[in-house]
Structure 1
Amino acid sequence: MDLKDATAVITGGASGLGEATARHFAEQGAAVTVLDRDTTRGPQVASEIGGHFAETDVTQESSVRSAIEYAKTEMGRITVAVNCAGIADAAKTVGREGPHPLQLFQRTIDINLIGTFNVARLAAEAMQENAPDTDGARGVIINTASIAAFDGQKGQTAYAASKGGVVGLSLPMARDLAKLGIRVMAIAPGIFMTPMLAGLGEEVQAGLAADVPCPPRLGDPAEFGRLAGFIVRCGYLNGEVIRIDGALRMR
Protein backbone atom coordinates (compact mmCIF):
# COMPACT_ATOMS: atom_id res chain seq x y z
CA MET A 1 0.00 0.00 0.00
CA ASP A 2 1.37 3.36 -0.98
CA LEU A 3 0.95 6.03 1.68
CA LYS A 4 -0.54 8.42 -0.85
CA ASP A 5 -3.48 6.01 -1.13
CA ALA A 6 -3.79 5.40 2.62
CA THR A 7 -6.59 6.63 4.86
CA ALA A 8 -5.37 6.44 8.44
CA VAL A 9 -6.69 6.84 11.96
CA ILE A 10 -3.96 7.59 14.50
CA THR A 11 -4.63 7.52 18.24
CA GLY A 12 -2.58 9.79 20.44
CA GLY A 13 -2.10 11.88 17.32
CA ALA A 14 -2.07 15.19 19.17
CA SER A 15 1.49 14.79 20.47
CA GLY A 16 4.63 12.69 20.60
CA LEU A 17 4.92 9.57 18.46
CA GLY A 18 1.33 9.85 17.27
CA GLU A 19 1.73 13.42 16.09
CA ALA A 20 4.97 12.59 14.28
CA THR A 21 3.26 9.67 12.55
CA ALA A 22 0.28 11.79 11.55
CA ARG A 23 2.58 14.45 10.10
CA HIS A 24 4.68 11.93 8.16
CA PHE A 25 1.65 10.18 6.73
CA ALA A 26 0.10 13.47 5.66
CA GLU A 27 3.36 14.64 4.08
CA GLN A 28 3.34 11.46 2.00
CA GLY A 29 -0.18 12.13 0.77
CA ALA A 30 -2.25 10.02 3.16
CA ALA A 31 -5.59 11.17 4.49
CA VAL A 32 -5.38 11.27 8.30
CA THR A 33 -7.85 11.46 11.15
CA VAL A 34 -6.30 12.27 14.53
CA LEU A 35 -7.94 10.51 17.48
CA ASP A 36 -7.10 12.04 20.85
CA ARG A 37 -8.60 13.31 24.10
CA ASP A 38 -6.82 16.65 23.75
CA THR A 39 -9.44 18.94 22.25
CA THR A 40 -6.98 21.84 21.99
CA ARG A 41 -3.87 20.32 20.47
CA GLY A 42 -5.71 17.62 18.50
CA PRO A 43 -7.70 19.95 16.21
CA GLN A 44 -4.59 22.13 15.78
CA VAL A 45 -2.47 19.21 14.53
CA ALA A 46 -5.29 18.01 12.28
CA SER A 47 -5.67 21.48 10.79
CA GLU A 48 -1.92 21.86 10.19
CA ILE A 49 -1.72 18.58 8.27
CA GLY A 50 -4.98 19.01 6.38
CA GLY A 51 -6.60 16.16 8.27
CA HIS A 52 -9.54 15.58 10.59
CA PHE A 53 -9.94 15.31 14.35
CA ALA A 54 -12.18 13.18 16.55
CA GLU A 55 -12.18 13.52 20.33
CA THR A 56 -11.64 9.95 21.50
CA ASP A 57 -11.34 8.00 24.74
CA VAL A 58 -9.72 4.75 23.60
CA THR A 59 -11.00 2.89 26.67
CA GLN A 60 -14.65 3.50 25.77
CA GLU A 61 -16.35 1.46 23.05
CA SER A 62 -18.91 4.14 22.20
CA SER A 63 -16.24 6.82 21.87
CA VAL A 64 -14.09 4.74 19.53
CA ARG A 65 -17.08 3.61 17.46
CA SER A 66 -18.09 7.22 16.97
CA ALA A 67 -14.54 8.19 15.99
CA ILE A 68 -14.26 5.33 13.49
CA GLU A 69 -17.60 6.22 11.90
CA TYR A 70 -16.58 9.88 11.70
CA ALA A 71 -13.27 8.96 10.07
CA LYS A 72 -15.03 6.74 7.51
CA THR A 73 -17.45 9.51 6.68
CA GLU A 74 -14.70 12.10 6.23
CA MET A 75 -12.16 9.91 4.41
CA GLY A 76 -14.41 7.39 2.67
CA ARG A 77 -12.73 4.34 4.22
CA ILE A 78 -10.05 3.32 6.72
CA THR A 79 -7.02 1.38 5.51
CA VAL A 80 -4.55 2.05 8.34
CA ALA A 81 -4.87 2.29 12.13
CA VAL A 82 -1.89 3.31 14.26
CA ASN A 83 -2.26 2.96 18.03
CA CYS A 84 -0.05 5.52 19.80
CA ALA A 85 -2.29 6.54 22.71
CA GLY A 86 -0.73 5.61 26.02
CA ILE A 87 0.54 6.63 29.44
CA ALA A 88 3.76 5.85 31.32
CA ASP A 89 3.15 6.33 35.04
CA ALA A 90 5.73 4.74 37.35
CA ALA A 91 5.51 3.11 40.77
CA LYS A 92 7.31 0.27 42.52
CA THR A 93 5.45 -2.89 43.50
CA VAL A 94 6.10 -1.89 47.10
CA GLY A 95 7.59 1.52 47.82
CA ARG A 96 8.03 3.97 50.66
CA GLU A 97 4.35 4.87 50.54
CA GLY A 98 3.14 1.29 50.44
CA PRO A 99 2.11 -1.11 47.68
CA HIS A 100 1.65 -0.08 44.07
CA PRO A 101 -1.72 1.72 43.80
CA LEU A 102 -4.09 -0.76 42.18
CA GLN A 103 -6.02 2.04 40.47
CA LEU A 104 -2.83 3.23 38.75
CA PHE A 105 -2.06 -0.29 37.51
CA GLN A 106 -5.63 -0.69 36.23
CA ARG A 107 -5.57 2.70 34.48
CA THR A 108 -2.31 1.85 32.70
CA ILE A 109 -3.70 -1.48 31.48
CA ASP A 110 -6.98 0.16 30.45
CA ILE A 111 -5.34 2.81 28.27
CA ASN A 112 -2.27 1.06 26.92
CA LEU A 113 -3.57 -2.47 26.41
CA ILE A 114 -7.37 -2.48 26.41
CA GLY A 115 -7.43 0.83 24.53
CA THR A 116 -5.13 -0.60 21.87
CA PHE A 117 -7.31 -3.70 21.47
CA ASN A 118 -10.49 -1.63 21.43
CA VAL A 119 -9.30 0.57 18.57
CA ALA A 120 -7.75 -2.34 16.65
CA ARG A 121 -10.88 -4.49 16.69
CA LEU A 122 -13.19 -1.67 15.62
CA ALA A 123 -10.78 -0.44 12.94
CA ALA A 124 -10.54 -4.01 11.61
CA GLU A 125 -14.32 -4.19 11.46
CA ALA A 126 -14.28 -1.13 9.22
CA MET A 127 -11.32 -2.36 7.13
CA GLN A 128 -13.03 -5.61 6.19
CA GLU A 129 -15.40 -3.59 4.01
CA ASN A 130 -12.54 -2.37 1.79
CA ALA A 131 -12.00 -3.83 -1.65
CA PRO A 132 -8.87 -6.05 -1.60
CA ASP A 133 -5.76 -5.22 -3.59
CA THR A 134 -3.88 -7.75 -5.73
CA ASP A 135 -2.45 -9.34 -2.55
CA GLY A 136 -5.90 -9.57 -1.02
CA ALA A 137 -4.92 -6.84 1.43
CA ARG A 138 -7.55 -4.58 2.96
CA GLY A 139 -5.71 -2.81 5.75
CA VAL A 140 -2.88 -2.51 8.27
CA ILE A 141 -2.96 -2.14 12.06
CA ILE A 142 0.18 -0.90 13.83
CA ASN A 143 0.30 -1.16 17.62
CA THR A 144 2.80 0.63 19.83
CA ALA A 145 4.58 -1.58 22.35
CA SER A 146 7.86 -0.64 24.07
CA ILE A 147 11.24 -2.15 24.82
CA ALA A 148 9.95 -2.19 28.40
CA ALA A 149 7.88 -5.18 27.30
CA PHE A 150 11.16 -7.12 27.12
CA ASP A 151 13.42 -5.48 29.71
CA GLY A 152 11.32 -3.22 31.87
CA GLN A 153 13.07 -1.37 34.66
CA LYS A 154 12.11 -1.00 38.31
CA GLY A 155 8.99 1.06 38.74
CA GLN A 156 7.64 -0.13 35.39
CA THR A 157 5.50 -3.09 36.42
CA ALA A 158 2.26 -1.55 35.12
CA TYR A 159 3.80 -0.06 31.99
CA ALA A 160 5.80 -3.19 31.13
CA ALA A 161 2.78 -5.41 31.71
CA SER A 162 0.63 -3.28 29.44
CA LYS A 163 3.22 -3.19 26.67
CA GLY A 164 3.95 -6.90 27.09
CA GLY A 165 0.26 -7.43 26.44
CA VAL A 166 0.49 -5.40 23.24
CA VAL A 167 3.37 -7.61 22.09
CA GLY A 168 1.43 -10.74 23.02
CA LEU A 169 -1.75 -9.84 21.16
CA SER A 170 -0.15 -8.77 17.88
CA LEU A 171 0.64 -12.24 16.43
CA PRO A 172 -2.69 -13.90 17.28
CA MET A 173 -4.51 -10.81 16.05
CA ALA A 174 -2.58 -11.03 12.76
CA ARG A 175 -3.67 -14.67 12.48
CA ASP A 176 -7.28 -13.79 13.35
CA LEU A 177 -7.42 -11.13 10.66
CA ALA A 178 -5.40 -12.88 7.94
CA LYS A 179 -8.48 -14.12 6.05
CA LEU A 180 -9.77 -10.56 5.95
CA GLY A 181 -6.52 -9.32 4.40
CA ILE A 182 -5.59 -7.18 7.41
CA ARG A 183 -1.99 -7.16 8.62
CA VAL A 184 -1.03 -6.47 12.24
CA MET A 185 2.37 -5.22 13.34
CA ALA A 186 3.84 -3.75 16.52
CA ILE A 187 6.63 -1.25 17.04
CA ALA A 188 8.65 -1.32 20.27
CA PRO A 189 10.33 2.08 20.65
CA GLY A 190 13.17 2.80 23.04
CA ILE A 191 13.75 6.21 24.62
CA PHE A 192 12.28 8.90 22.39
CA MET A 193 12.16 12.68 22.70
CA THR A 194 8.45 12.93 23.52
CA PRO A 195 6.83 15.84 25.39
CA MET A 196 7.20 13.87 28.64
CA LEU A 197 10.98 13.56 28.26
CA ALA A 198 11.33 17.10 26.95
CA GLY A 199 10.24 18.37 30.35
CA LEU A 200 12.97 16.52 32.24
CA GLY A 201 15.77 18.95 31.42
CA GLU A 202 18.90 18.66 29.31
CA GLU A 203 21.02 16.94 31.99
CA VAL A 204 18.53 14.10 32.45
CA GLN A 205 18.09 13.78 28.69
CA ALA A 206 21.85 13.52 28.22
CA GLY A 207 22.05 10.82 30.87
CA LEU A 208 19.38 8.77 29.15
CA ALA A 209 20.97 9.25 25.73
CA ALA A 210 24.35 8.07 27.04
CA ASP A 211 22.92 4.58 27.58
CA VAL A 212 22.01 4.19 23.91
CA PRO A 213 24.82 2.34 22.06
CA CYS A 214 24.43 3.75 18.55
CA PRO A 215 23.53 6.41 17.79
CA PRO A 216 24.07 7.74 21.33
CA ARG A 217 21.02 9.98 21.45
CA LEU A 218 17.30 9.93 22.12
CA GLY A 219 15.05 8.77 19.33
CA ASP A 220 13.38 11.34 17.10
CA PRO A 221 9.60 10.78 16.90
CA ALA A 222 9.89 11.36 13.14
CA GLU A 223 11.90 8.12 12.98
CA PHE A 224 9.00 6.26 14.54
CA GLY A 225 6.66 7.83 11.99
CA ARG A 226 8.87 6.78 9.09
CA LEU A 227 9.01 3.22 10.41
CA ALA A 228 5.23 3.13 10.61
CA GLY A 229 5.12 4.35 7.02
CA PHE A 230 7.55 1.63 5.94
CA ILE A 231 5.36 -1.02 7.56
CA VAL A 232 2.37 0.23 5.60
CA ARG A 233 4.35 0.07 2.35
CA CYS A 234 5.93 -3.36 2.94
CA GLY A 235 3.10 -5.83 2.45
CA TYR A 236 5.02 -8.89 3.63
CA LEU A 237 5.53 -7.57 7.15
CA ASN A 238 2.95 -9.17 9.40
CA GLY A 239 2.62 -10.51 12.94
CA GLU A 240 5.97 -9.16 14.11
CA VAL A 241 7.37 -6.67 16.63
CA ILE A 242 10.10 -4.30 15.45
CA ARG A 243 12.36 -2.66 18.02
CA ILE A 244 13.56 0.86 17.24
CA ASP A 245 15.95 1.69 20.05
CA GLY A 246 19.55 2.20 18.91
CA ALA A 247 20.40 -1.27 20.33
CA LEU A 248 19.48 -0.16 23.85
CA ARG A 249 18.93 -2.93 26.40
CA MET A 250 17.69 -1.52 29.67
CA ARG A 251 19.02 -2.82 32.98
Structure 2
Amino acid sequence: MKLAGTAALVTGAASGLGAATAAALAARGATVYGLDLDKAVAEAGALPEGVTLLAADVTQEAPVRAALDRIEADGAMLRLAVNCAGIAPSARLVGRRGPHDLDLFRTVVDVNLVGTFNVLRLAAAALAAQEPDEDGQRGLVVNTASIAAYEGQIGQIAYAASKAGVAGMTVTAARDLAQYGIRVVTIAPGIVDTPMMAGFSEEVRAGLGRSVPFPQRLARPEEYARLVTMVAEHDYLNGETIRMDGALRMAAR
Protein backbone atom coordinates (compact mmCIF):
# COMPACT_ATOMS: atom_id res chain seq x y z
CA MET A 1 0.00 0.00 0.00
CA LYS A 2 1.33 3.40 -0.96
CA LEU A 3 1.34 6.05 1.77
CA ALA A 4 2.07 9.13 -0.33
CA GLY A 5 -1.05 11.08 -1.17
CA THR A 6 -3.25 9.23 1.33
CA ALA A 7 -4.75 10.19 4.69
CA ALA A 8 -4.02 8.51 8.01
CA LEU A 9 -5.76 8.67 11.37
CA VAL A 10 -3.49 8.23 14.42
CA THR A 11 -4.72 8.17 18.01
CA GLY A 12 -2.62 9.27 20.97
CA ALA A 13 -0.82 11.49 18.49
CA ALA A 14 0.25 14.31 20.81
CA SER A 15 3.15 12.34 22.32
CA GLY A 16 5.01 9.05 22.46
CA LEU A 17 4.25 6.33 19.93
CA GLY A 18 1.44 8.32 18.34
CA ALA A 19 3.52 11.45 17.77
CA ALA A 20 6.38 9.45 16.29
CA THR A 21 3.99 7.57 14.02
CA ALA A 22 2.26 10.73 12.85
CA ALA A 23 5.64 12.28 11.98
CA ALA A 24 6.84 9.18 10.14
CA LEU A 25 3.68 8.93 8.06
CA ALA A 26 3.76 12.63 7.19
CA ALA A 27 7.40 12.27 6.13
CA ARG A 28 6.24 9.62 3.65
CA GLY A 29 3.71 11.94 2.09
CA ALA A 30 0.56 11.07 4.05
CA THR A 31 -1.80 13.70 5.42
CA VAL A 32 -2.12 12.80 9.09
CA TYR A 33 -5.02 13.55 11.40
CA GLY A 34 -3.97 12.92 14.98
CA LEU A 35 -6.41 12.43 17.85
CA ASP A 36 -5.71 13.08 21.51
CA LEU A 37 -7.39 14.46 24.61
CA ASP A 38 -8.14 18.20 24.84
CA LYS A 39 -5.33 18.90 27.32
CA ALA A 40 -2.74 16.97 25.32
CA VAL A 41 -3.70 18.77 22.11
CA ALA A 42 -3.55 22.16 23.84
CA GLU A 43 -0.07 21.42 25.24
CA ALA A 44 1.39 19.93 22.06
CA GLY A 45 4.34 21.78 20.59
CA ALA A 46 5.09 22.51 16.96
CA LEU A 47 3.75 19.84 14.64
CA PRO A 48 5.48 18.35 11.61
CA GLU A 49 4.20 19.54 8.25
CA GLY A 50 1.26 17.40 7.20
CA VAL A 51 0.05 16.65 10.75
CA THR A 52 -3.17 18.08 12.21
CA LEU A 53 -4.19 17.41 15.81
CA LEU A 54 -7.86 17.08 16.73
CA ALA A 55 -9.25 16.81 20.26
CA ALA A 56 -11.08 13.51 20.76
CA ASP A 57 -11.64 10.91 23.46
CA VAL A 58 -11.26 7.55 21.72
CA THR A 59 -13.80 5.92 24.02
CA GLN A 60 -16.54 8.19 22.65
CA GLU A 61 -18.25 7.68 19.30
CA ALA A 62 -19.11 11.28 18.37
CA PRO A 63 -15.59 12.83 18.32
CA VAL A 64 -14.11 9.90 16.39
CA ARG A 65 -16.91 10.14 13.83
CA ALA A 66 -16.31 13.90 13.64
CA ALA A 67 -12.63 13.32 12.88
CA LEU A 68 -13.48 10.84 10.12
CA ASP A 69 -16.04 13.29 8.72
CA ARG A 70 -13.32 15.97 8.71
CA ILE A 71 -11.03 13.71 6.68
CA GLU A 72 -13.80 13.06 4.17
CA ALA A 73 -14.70 16.76 3.97
CA ASP A 74 -11.06 17.63 3.29
CA GLY A 75 -11.15 15.30 0.30
CA ALA A 76 -8.38 13.05 1.57
CA MET A 77 -8.34 9.32 0.76
CA LEU A 78 -8.24 7.52 4.10
CA ARG A 79 -6.11 4.38 3.87
CA LEU A 80 -4.68 3.90 7.37
CA ALA A 81 -5.73 4.12 11.02
CA VAL A 82 -3.26 3.56 13.86
CA ASN A 83 -4.39 3.08 17.46
CA CYS A 84 -1.72 4.35 19.87
CA ALA A 85 -3.85 5.89 22.63
CA GLY A 86 -3.52 4.09 25.96
CA ILE A 87 -2.89 4.31 29.69
CA ALA A 88 -0.87 2.10 32.05
CA PRO A 89 -1.68 2.63 35.74
CA SER A 90 -0.33 0.02 38.14
CA ALA A 91 -2.21 -1.82 40.90
CA ARG A 92 -2.01 -5.30 42.39
CA LEU A 93 -4.96 -7.66 42.48
CA VAL A 94 -4.83 -7.48 46.27
CA GLY A 95 -2.79 -4.68 47.83
CA ARG A 96 -2.34 -2.97 51.17
CA ARG A 97 -5.66 -1.20 50.79
CA GLY A 98 -7.57 -4.30 49.76
CA PRO A 99 -8.71 -5.64 46.38
CA HIS A 100 -7.97 -3.95 43.07
CA ASP A 101 -10.21 -0.95 42.51
CA LEU A 102 -12.96 -2.01 40.11
CA ASP A 103 -13.40 1.43 38.58
CA LEU A 104 -9.67 1.59 37.79
CA PHE A 105 -9.88 -1.77 36.02
CA ARG A 106 -12.89 -0.58 34.04
CA THR A 107 -11.12 2.65 33.08
CA VAL A 108 -8.02 0.85 31.78
CA VAL A 109 -10.12 -1.59 29.75
CA ASP A 110 -12.31 1.26 28.51
CA VAL A 111 -9.38 3.30 27.19
CA ASN A 112 -7.06 0.55 25.96
CA LEU A 113 -9.52 -2.05 24.66
CA VAL A 114 -12.89 -0.36 24.14
CA GLY A 115 -11.19 2.78 22.78
CA THR A 116 -9.19 0.69 20.33
CA PHE A 117 -12.32 -1.19 19.28
CA ASN A 118 -14.26 2.04 18.86
CA VAL A 119 -11.68 3.52 16.48
CA LEU A 120 -11.23 0.16 14.74
CA ARG A 121 -14.93 -0.22 13.95
CA LEU A 122 -15.49 3.38 12.85
CA ALA A 123 -12.29 3.61 10.82
CA ALA A 124 -13.05 0.24 9.19
CA ALA A 125 -16.47 1.48 8.09
CA ALA A 126 -14.86 4.59 6.60
CA LEU A 127 -12.19 2.52 4.85
CA ALA A 128 -14.81 0.13 3.46
CA ALA A 129 -16.49 3.08 1.73
CA GLN A 130 -13.31 4.02 -0.16
CA GLU A 131 -12.49 2.94 -3.69
CA PRO A 132 -9.99 0.04 -3.73
CA ASP A 133 -6.54 0.47 -5.23
CA GLU A 134 -5.28 -1.57 -8.17
CA ASP A 135 -4.65 -4.52 -5.85
CA GLY A 136 -8.12 -4.45 -4.32
CA GLN A 137 -6.93 -2.87 -1.09
CA ARG A 138 -8.94 -0.29 0.77
CA GLY A 139 -6.69 0.15 3.77
CA LEU A 140 -5.12 -0.99 7.01
CA VAL A 141 -5.75 -0.66 10.73
CA VAL A 142 -2.78 -1.03 13.08
CA ASN A 143 -3.56 -1.58 16.76
CA THR A 144 -1.17 -1.43 19.70
CA ALA A 145 -1.02 -4.22 22.26
CA SER A 146 2.01 -4.89 24.51
CA ILE A 147 4.17 -7.82 25.50
CA ALA A 148 2.28 -7.47 28.79
CA ALA A 149 -0.53 -9.21 26.93
CA TYR A 150 1.62 -12.35 27.18
CA GLU A 151 3.80 -11.77 30.27
CA GLY A 152 2.08 -9.21 32.44
CA GLN A 153 4.12 -8.24 35.48
CA ILE A 154 3.01 -7.81 39.08
CA GLY A 155 0.72 -4.79 39.21
CA GLN A 156 -0.23 -4.98 35.53
CA ILE A 157 -3.40 -7.05 35.71
CA ALA A 158 -5.68 -4.37 34.24
CA TYR A 159 -3.15 -3.31 31.62
CA ALA A 160 -2.33 -6.92 30.67
CA ALA A 161 -6.01 -7.82 30.36
CA SER A 162 -6.73 -4.81 28.15
CA LYS A 163 -3.76 -5.46 25.87
CA ALA A 164 -4.52 -9.18 25.65
CA GLY A 165 -7.95 -8.14 24.41
CA VAL A 166 -6.38 -5.99 21.69
CA ALA A 167 -4.18 -8.87 20.56
CA GLY A 168 -7.16 -11.22 20.69
CA MET A 169 -9.22 -9.07 18.31
CA THR A 170 -6.60 -9.15 15.58
CA VAL A 171 -7.32 -12.32 13.62
CA THR A 172 -11.10 -11.99 13.92
CA ALA A 173 -11.00 -8.37 12.80
CA ALA A 174 -8.78 -9.28 9.84
CA ARG A 175 -11.17 -12.05 8.84
CA ASP A 176 -14.23 -9.83 9.26
CA LEU A 177 -12.71 -7.11 7.07
CA ALA A 178 -11.07 -9.29 4.42
CA GLN A 179 -14.10 -8.99 2.13
CA TYR A 180 -13.50 -5.22 1.98
CA GLY A 181 -9.78 -5.46 1.26
CA ILE A 182 -8.88 -4.10 4.71
CA ARG A 183 -5.98 -5.55 6.68
CA VAL A 184 -5.62 -5.54 10.49
CA VAL A 185 -2.26 -5.92 12.23
CA THR A 186 -1.31 -5.44 15.87
CA ILE A 187 2.08 -4.40 17.23
CA ALA A 188 3.07 -5.55 20.73
CA PRO A 189 5.95 -3.34 21.89
CA GLY A 190 8.27 -4.14 24.75
CA ILE A 191 9.73 -1.36 26.90
CA VAL A 192 9.64 1.84 24.87
CA ASP A 193 11.18 5.16 25.90
CA THR A 194 7.96 7.18 25.93
CA PRO A 195 6.63 9.88 28.30
CA MET A 196 5.21 7.02 30.42
CA MET A 197 8.83 6.25 31.35
CA ALA A 198 9.61 9.85 32.35
CA GLY A 199 8.92 9.20 36.03
CA PHE A 200 11.71 6.63 36.30
CA SER A 201 15.27 7.57 37.23
CA GLU A 202 18.08 7.18 34.72
CA GLU A 203 19.39 4.27 36.80
CA VAL A 204 16.06 2.44 36.62
CA ARG A 205 15.75 3.12 32.90
CA ALA A 206 19.27 1.80 32.30
CA GLY A 207 18.42 -1.33 34.30
CA LEU A 208 15.32 -1.90 32.22
CA GLY A 209 17.40 -1.53 29.07
CA ARG A 210 19.90 -4.12 30.31
CA SER A 211 17.06 -6.61 30.81
CA VAL A 212 16.52 -6.74 27.04
CA PRO A 213 18.53 -9.55 25.39
CA PHE A 214 19.49 -7.46 22.35
CA PRO A 215 19.78 -4.64 21.72
CA GLN A 216 20.25 -3.89 25.44
CA ARG A 217 18.35 -0.62 25.56
CA LEU A 218 14.84 0.73 25.58
CA ALA A 219 13.02 0.77 22.26
CA ARG A 220 12.55 4.15 20.62
CA PRO A 221 9.15 5.52 19.54
CA GLU A 222 10.65 6.03 16.08
CA GLU A 223 11.23 2.28 15.83
CA TYR A 224 7.55 1.63 16.46
CA ALA A 225 6.69 4.23 13.82
CA ARG A 226 9.06 2.60 11.34
CA LEU A 227 7.34 -0.74 11.93
CA VAL A 228 3.96 0.86 11.20
CA THR A 229 5.24 2.09 7.84
CA MET A 230 6.77 -1.32 7.09
CA VAL A 231 3.45 -3.04 7.83
CA ALA A 232 1.62 -0.54 5.62
CA GLU A 233 3.97 -1.21 2.74
CA HIS A 234 3.99 -5.00 3.15
CA ASP A 235 0.65 -6.08 1.70
CA TYR A 236 0.83 -9.70 2.82
CA LEU A 237 1.01 -8.93 6.55
CA ASN A 238 -2.47 -9.43 7.93
CA GLY A 239 -4.12 -10.82 11.06
CA GLU A 240 -0.80 -10.90 12.93
CA THR A 241 0.45 -9.56 16.25
CA ILE A 242 4.10 -8.57 15.90
CA ARG A 243 6.30 -8.39 19.00
CA MET A 244 8.77 -5.50 18.96
CA ASP A 245 10.73 -6.28 22.09
CA GLY A 246 14.38 -7.21 21.45
CA ALA A 247 13.53 -10.82 22.47
CA LEU A 248 12.48 -9.67 25.94
CA ARG A 249 10.26 -11.99 27.96
CA MET A 250 9.07 -10.11 31.01
CA ALA A 251 9.83 -11.48 34.48
CA ALA A 252 7.25 -11.32 37.25
CA ARG A 253 8.66 -7.97 38.43
TM-score tier (shorter): over 0.9
| Matched AA of 1:170 | T
1:248 is matched with: 248
Counterpart residue type for residue 130 of structure 1: Q
CA distance in 2, matches of 1:41, 1:229: 27
Give the gaps of 5 or more residues in structure 2. none
Correspondence 1:6-25 to 2 at 5 A: 6-25=6-25
The answer on 1:214 being equivalent to 2:214 is yes
Three-state SS of the structure 1 residue aligned to 2:4 is helix
TM-score by length of 2: 0.95
Matched position secondary structure for 1:70: helix
Q: Is the 8 A contact 2:11 2:82 kept in 1?
A: yes
Distance 2:63 2:28 in 1: 28
Q: 1:183 is paired with a residue of what secondary structure?
A: strand
Find the aligned partners of 2:90 and 2:105 in 1 and give their Cα distance.
9
Q: Deviations over 1:179-207 (max 9, x none)?
A: 01100000000000001113312011011
For residues 153 and 97 of structure 1, what CA distance do their matches in structure 2 show?
19
Is the Cα–Cα contact under 8 Å of residues 7 and 75 in structure 1 kept in the other structure? Answer: no
Q: How does 1:74-223 map to 2 (within 5 A)?
A: 74-223=74-223
Contact persistence 2:212–2:246 (CA under 8 A): yes
Structure 1 unaligned spans of 5+: none
Shift of 1:50: 2.7
Q: Distance between the aligned counterparts of 2:246 and 2:7, measured in 1?
A: 30
When normalised by structure 1's length, the TM-score is: 0.96
Match for 2:41 among 39, 42, 60? 39
Structure 1 counterpart SS, 2:116: helix
Q: Percent identity?
A: 53
CA RMSD of aligned residues (A): 1.1
- SS for the counterpart of 2:41 is coil
Higher deviation after alignment, 109-118 or 49-58: 49-58
Q: Distance in 1 between matches of 2:74 and 2:86?
A: 25
Compute the displacement of 1:73 (Å).
Answer: 2.1
CA contact (8 A) 2:30 2:50 kept: no
Which has the higher mean CA deviation after the structures are superposed, 156-165 or 131-140?
A: 131-140
- Number of aligned positions between the proteins: 249
- Distance in 2, Cα, partners of 1:233 & 1:41: 32
Partners of 2:19 and 2:177 lie apart in 1 by 27
- Secondary structure at the counterpart of residue 153 of structure 1: coil
Q: Distance in 2 between matches of 1:135 and 1:48?
A: 31
- Counterpart amino acid of residue 92 in structure 1: R
Which residue identity is paired with 2:61?
Answer: E
Contact 1:170–1:185 (CA under 8 A) maintained in structure 2: yes
Change (3 A) 1:30 1:148: same
Instruction: State the match for 1:2 in structure 2.
Output: 2
- Does the Cα contact within 8 Å between 2:7 and 2:31 map onto a contact in 1? yes
1:48 equivalent in structure 2: 48
SS at match of 1:88: coil
Q: CA deviation at 1:5?
A: 3.2
Is the partner of 2:217 in helix, strand or coil? coil
SS at match of 2:92: coil
